[in-house]
Amino acid sequence: MAVSLSSTRLAYDELASPHQMYADAEAVGARLRLDPLDQAVRAAVQPAPSIRYEDYPRETAKTDLRVSDAARRLANALHLHLD
């Protein structure tokens, strides 16, 4: 059985013109209520975050964890000792 590998038909659809693809992208952005390039423009002009050590707080408050009596009893029953 012979199989011909040459074909004039491609297995995928032809790409649209750049103008048509741009119009499609604008339509999708409008449908999703996205401002065109607005987020990218804002992000591009913001300064990069600092990598200097002194720009970050050294002392931060630790979160207060509260263990309920029921959780304490369960942990003690499992010998986890959350005292």
Span 40-66, pLDDT tens digits: 877 888 898 889 888 887 787 888 888
Residue 68: predicted pLDDT: 92
Residue 81: predicted pLDDT: 64
Q: How far apart are CA 17 and CA 15, in angstroms?
A: 7
Which of residues 67 and 10 earns the better pLDDT score?
Answer: 67
Dihedral of CA atoms 48, 53, 55, 58 in degrees, nearest 10, equals 140
Q: How far apart are CA 55 and CA 34, in angstroms?
A: 34
**82 in Cβ contact with 75 (< 8 Å):** yes
pTM value is 0.29
Mean pLDDT along residues 16-42: 81
pLDDT at position 69 over 90 = yes
Q: How far apart are CA 49 and CA 55, in angstroms?
A: 10
